[in-house]
Every structure is written in structure tokens, then in C-alpha cells.
Amino acid sequence: MSASLTLIMAAWNAEKYIERSVKSVLNQTYRDLELIVVNDGSTDGTAALLSRMAAADPRLCPITTANGGPGRARNLALERLSPETKYLMFIDADDELLPDAAEKAVAAAEAGADLVLLGFSILAVGGSRRDYCEPGQTLDRSALGGALGRLYKANLLNQIWAKLFRADVIREQKIRFPDYRWGEDRFFVFACLERAQRVTVLPDCLYRYIMHEGESLISKYYDKKFAVCLEIDRRMEAMCRELGVTDESDFRYMFAKSVFSCLTTLFAPSCPLTAAEKKTAAREIAENERVRRRCRDTGAGLPTESLCAVLLSGKPGLILAAFRTVAWVGQTAPDLFTKLKHRK
């Protein structure tokens, strides 16, 4: 089928949660939409559940492929976009859209926005909720530079979800997700942001990021993560130059956070490195020229500045001890960790 709005969902072993997520899309007040779900090699009942739901609503279009990661799955869906698709959104298989999310996002795009940013909420297992949103505004290219740092620090540019994209921009520029297992969202968003003439920020939290029992706040270890962090910061630094940004403290803070994440994942259960290899990784990060230049004067408060000071000490043992503690906080005090991780 064809529709003016296409939503894309990558799903891997999502049987427990995907029905609620799919229904949150199909029950939108905006009806002229389709949902492409790419079943990314699931081994549970995801495929069968999607088939049953698609039989009841033809706007659901399931695709099954061999497991290749969410970026590859989303790229597969992008190749199948209908020419009639004007707008594009993404949703994770265990999250939800509020009923009027698509209607409000499309209205902003119809008013001329190339990129629409939605507020979102993180719902923790214990029932706590944190909202991430900014005042409603529309920014042209001349105004975007002044707002970019605030939007980045407010966590509105990091994820592929909670956004609406103009499909023509993606088609014409052939924008796709890179083959990474971390950070691929940000590259896609940046590519669209670099080409957007108007960006609209909606003030409402219209997307729900839902955490589940047993889900870790510490990212899985990824051996290329630090290289990706460096590439992301170079890309953002170039965008700042193009938009005439003069105060880069917010961008330095976001880079420092990503470096902190690289060090924290050394203590994730999935990290295969030996103690000696972890020490080598910490030393390489601490001695990197960009880290030493950018992880200064972030203006982000005592916790961040303290960790930056530890990092810039260049002492691998001290660095590992500090970030072992950070990882422990993530495991034992998730609410506090979320608050520190996502502070604005």
C-alpha cells in the first residue's frame, strides 16, 4: 500500500513487546500511514505475531531478513519506500507513540518543516518517568546555529526516533544508516539536519521510550565505539562551523559524555577485554588529541568536570577505577544514573 507517512520499525526477538508498539502506531489519530516492520532474523514468535496483525490491518507491512543489526534493517525498509511517501518516522519495537504524535508531527511538516523534533519520555521499570522536551519553536538556517547546542544537550538529536523527516530529502541525498552497532542513529539525523532549511521543535512529549526488567543502562561493549565517537564529534564540529556557532561548550559536553560511555562499557558484561587490554584502551583514549582538546570547559557541573579531570590526568589506573564506579552506579542506582546520564 502507499501512504503519505511511513513509519519504520526494526525488530529482533521482540515478541513480548511489539504488539503494543505496533498498535500505538496503527491507532494514531492520523490515519494516512503505513508501518514497515523489518523482522531482523528473530528466533522467537515475532514473525508469526506480525503476520497475524498484518492480516487484520493492511497498513502493517512486515518484512523478514537475516539478522544484520538495526541500521541494515532500516536501510532495507528505506529501499522500499513508496513514491507517495512524503514523511518518514522511526519507532523502536518496544516503545510507544502517543495517539496524536503523528498528527502533530505531520501538521508541523505541512507548515514547512523539513525536520520535526518531538519531546520524549523515558519510563523506568520502577514507574519513574523523565521528560525530555524543549519549548515549541521553528528555526530556519540562520537561527539553527544559536539553538543547536541546546537541542543537542537536551538529547533531541541523538536518536532516530521521536522525529519526523521529509522523505524527499532522504531520497534525493540517498541518506542511509552506516554499518555501525552504535551511533548510527546520530549520523542519519546529522545528515538530515545538515540539509534541513527549517526545523520545528514540538513541546510535547509524544514518544515513550520504555525500559524493561533486566535491561541495562550500560551500553554493550562495541570495539569500534571510540572511533565512532571521534567521527561524530568531527561531524558536529563541522556543522558548528557551517552554522557560525561560537560557543561550543555544549558540544564539548556531549563529546565528553560519549567518551565516558566508551570507558564505562569496559565494565559491561559483554566486554571481552582482559585487565591489561582495558588499561591499554583507557590509555589510548586519554592520550587522544581530540579528547585532550575537547574534554575541557564543558560548563556541565561538578560530576562531568570531575570525570574530565580524571580522564585528562592520563593515568589509566585512576581512569579505570573512576569508570568502574560509574558502571557500578548504573547497575545499583539506575534512577540516579539516568538522571546524570541525561542531564541538560
CATH number at residue 187: 3.90.550.10
Domain hosting residue 279, numbered range: 225-341
Last residue of a domain, one of 151, 182, 210: 210
**Looking at the structure, do residues 77 and 203 belong to the same domain, yes or no?**
yes
Q: Would you mind telling me the total number of residues written for the chain in this entry? A: 344
- In the structure, what pLDDT confidence band is assigned to residue 330 with cuts at 50, 70 and 90? confident
pLDDT at 13: 96
Q: Are 319 and 263 in contact (CB under 8 A)?
A: yes
pLDDT at 341: 55
pLDDT at 333: 66
Does 244 reside within a domain? Answer: yes
**Looking at the structure, do residues 126 and 238 belong to the same domain, yes or no?**
no
**Looking at the structure, do residues 242 and 294 belong to the same domain, yes or no?**
yes
pLDDT at 340: 55
Percent of the chain with pLDDT over 90: 87
Q: Are 1 and 35 in contact (CB under 8 A)?
A: no
pTM: 0.93
Percent of the chain with pLDDT over 70: 95
Does 218 reside within a domain? Answer: no
**Looking at the structure, do residues 118 and 203 belong to the same domain, yes or no?**
yes
Please compute Rg for the chain using Cα positions. 20
Does 185 reside within a domain? Answer: yes
Q: Residues 68-124: pLDDT tens digits? A: 999 999 999 999 999 999 999 999 999 999 999 999 999 999 999 999 999 999 998
**Looking at the structure, do residues 66 and 140 belong to the same domain, yes or no?**
yes
CA angle centred on 85, ends 40 and 29, rounded to 5°: 85
Pull the grid cell for residue 207: 514518544
Does 167 reside within a domain? Answer: yes
Query: Coil, strand, or helix at residue 60?
Result: strand
**Looking at the structure, do residues 29 and 121 belong to the same domain, yes or no?**
yes
- In the structure, what pLDDT confidence band is assigned to residue 338 with cuts at 50, 70 and 90? low
Pull the grid cell for residue 116: 520535526
Does 336 reside within a domain? Answer: yes
Does 83 reside within a domain? Answer: yes
Last residue of a domain, one of 156, 185, 210: 210
**Looking at the structure, do residues 200 and 259 belong to the same domain, yes or no?**
no
Outline where 133-273 has alpha helix (H).
141-153, 167-173, 184-195, 225-243, 249-264
| 337 pLDDT higher than 70 | no
pLDDT at 342: 53
What average pLDDT does the segment 14-27 reach?
A: 97
Pull the grid cell for residue 133: 522536551
Q: Residues 178-230: pLDDT tens digits? A: 999 899 999 999 999 999 999 999 999 999 999 887 666 577 899 999 999 99
**Looking at the structure, do residues 236 and 180 belong to the same domain, yes or no?**
no
**Looking at the structure, do residues 169 and 246 belong to the same domain, yes or no?**
no
Does 215 reside within a domain? Answer: no
**Looking at the structure, do residues 25 and 140 belong to the same domain, yes or no?**
yes
What is the secondary structure of 262-310 as a DSSP string? HHHGGGSTT----HHHHHHHHHHHHT-HHHHHHSS-----HHHHHHHHH
| 300 pLDDT higher than 90 | no
Q: Are 51 and 78 in contact (CB under 8 A)?
A: no
- In the structure, what pLDDT confidence band is assigned to residue 56 with cuts at 50, 70 and 90? very high
In the block, residue with C-alpha cell 505496533: 22
**Looking at the structure, do residues 73 and 200 belong to the same domain, yes or no?**
yes
Q: What is the spatial distance between Cα 116 and Cα 150, in angstroms, rounded to a whole number? A: 16
Letter for the amino acid at 344?
Answer: K
**Looking at the structure, do residues 206 and 229 belong to the same domain, yes or no?**
no
Q: Are 97 and 25 in contact (CB under 8 A)?
A: yes
Q: Are 255 and 237 in contact (CB under 8 A)?
A: no
Does 216 reside within a domain? Answer: no
Average pLDDT, the chain: 93
pLDDT at 214: 60
Q: Residues 131-184: pLDDT tens digits? A: 999 999 999 999 999 999 999 999 999 999 999 999 999 999 999 999 998 999
Look at the chain and report how many structural domains it folds into. 2
